[in-house]
Amino acid sequence: MTLLKETITAIVPQDAAVRAQAHRRLEALTMPHWALGRLLDLAEDLAGITRSLHPPISRKAIFTMAGDHGVVAEGVSKYPQEVTPQMVYNFVAGGAGINALARQAGASVTVVDMGVAADLCALADAGKIVSRRIGPGTKNIAHGPAMSRQEAIRAVEAGIDVARKADSAVDVFGTGDMGIGNTTPSSAIVAAFSGEPVAKVTGHGTGIDAGQFAHKVAVIERALAINAPDRSDGLDVLAKVGGFEIGGIAGLCLGAAALKKPVVVDGFISTAGALIAHSLCPAAAEYMIAAHRSVEKGHRIAVEILGKHPLIDLDFRLGEGTGAALAMNFIEAAVRVLTEVATFDEAGVSKADS
């Protein structure tokens, strides 16, 4: 059995009995019924995911998957491709947005080279990043498939392997991304799965103007027409119009689900990876927590496909795992409410009139 098949086989739904126990406790807390709203929903989810009324969440880790994209040659991004490895060095130095927000949340940051178009061997050899490199960036989806099906499998299995190797040291996984041009394959993925018009699921990425946006839409439309991804086959969608780092994110989501641990899904690119994971194993979505609502237009449609309601809406569009890091504070809060707030009976407080 391959690693991918083995992982999918290991994914089962949340524990319904523990969810029910958590729900009963949350209903009995010393407050009006469900007065903390979606924070209580999150607490119930965490209990079902972890099979515990005291969900372990102290060890938090963001995995920022990095990869380059051949479609950048079409002029879809405001930034040049060399920014991808430059930002990897920035992550390692601790100077990026994800580093600041992860430190605030008490989370570690691990950069995974899934296919950056630069030599990062020195960083990998020094143990400063993890190398799961599939190739030096994907091919140009405007002219053919991003990668072979075998490369797509390798990318997903690399993400699974990252989750497995981190298992003993991580309670809560978080996804992140780095890759100039990666909103283009992400929009293509959402369009492929949703069937929505490309213009409806495509945003302005790094800040392109109206003319560049129209060009970006046309490039994605051409990529979908040329490659004809099969929406019923997540690996086909990934291979035809995806990215190596998106495959790695999909694998991390599957790996976390197989380990029965929550995975906090960052913004648009991470959610594209989550869609691949969901296509391969719908039950994996039960372990995903949508961190925030991205400014990117296609993100709203993507989270609807997953059946998720993002925790935060602060007009984020950075990626890197920044939204996931910030959302980890809400995970901490939800568990504290579940475990530290007394029930009416425990506190000797009179209940509301029936």
- What are the pLDDT digits (tens) for 301-344? 999 999 999 999 999 999 999 999 999 999 999 999 999 999 99
- pLDDT above 80 for 158: yes
User: What's the number of domains the chain is made of?
Assistant: 2
79 with 222, same domain?
yes
178 with 71, same domain?
yes
- Position with higher pLDDT, 210 vs 273: 273
Tally DSSP H helices, then E strands, for the chain.
16, 6
Mind telling me the catalytic residues? 320
Q: Are β-strands 172-178 and 263-265 bridged in parallel, bridged antiparallel, or unpaired?
A: parallel
pLDDT at 206: 77
pLDDT at 1: 79
45 with 173, same domain?
no
43 with 76, same domain?
no
CATH number of the CATH domain containing 7: 1.10.1610.10
DSSP 168: G
- pLDDT above 90 for 207: no
Alpha carbon distance 181, 179 (integer Å):
6
21 with 82, same domain?
no
pLDDT at 354: 66
Backbone Cα Rg of the chain: 20
153 with 278, same domain?
yes
92 with 8, same domain?
no
Cα 300 to the center of its chain, rounded Å: 14
66 with 48, same domain?
no
354 within a domain of the structure (yes/no): no
Alpha carbon distance 81, 72 (integer Å):
7
Q: Mean pLDDT over residues 79-92, rounded? A: 97
- pLDDT above 90 for 174: yes
pLDDT at 351: 86
- Which amino acid would we find at residue 119? D
Q: What is the tens place of the pLDDT at every residue in 87-145?
A: 999 999 999 999 999 999 999 999 999 999 999 999 999 999 999 999 999 999 999 99
205 within a domain of the structure (yes/no): yes
102 with 36, same domain?
no
> Strand ranges (DSSP E) for the chain?
60-67, 107-115, 130-131, 172-178, 263-265, 288-290
79 within a domain of the structure (yes/no): yes
Range of the domain at 144: 60-329
Instruction: Supply the mean pLDDT for the chain.
Output: 97
234 with 322, same domain?
yes
185 with 103, same domain?
yes
125 within a domain of the structure (yes/no): yes
46 with 78, same domain?
no
Cα 132 to the center of its chain, rounded Å: 17
Residues 6 or more apart whose CB falls under 8 angstroms from that of 72 comprise 80, 81, 180, 181
DSSP, collapsed to helix, strand or coil, labels residue 109 as: strand
pLDDT at 289: 98
Tokens for 338, please give them.
Answer: 């579940």
The model's pTM: 0.98
What residues does 67 pair with on adjacent strands? Answer: 115
CATH number of the CATH domain containing 209: 3.40.50.10210
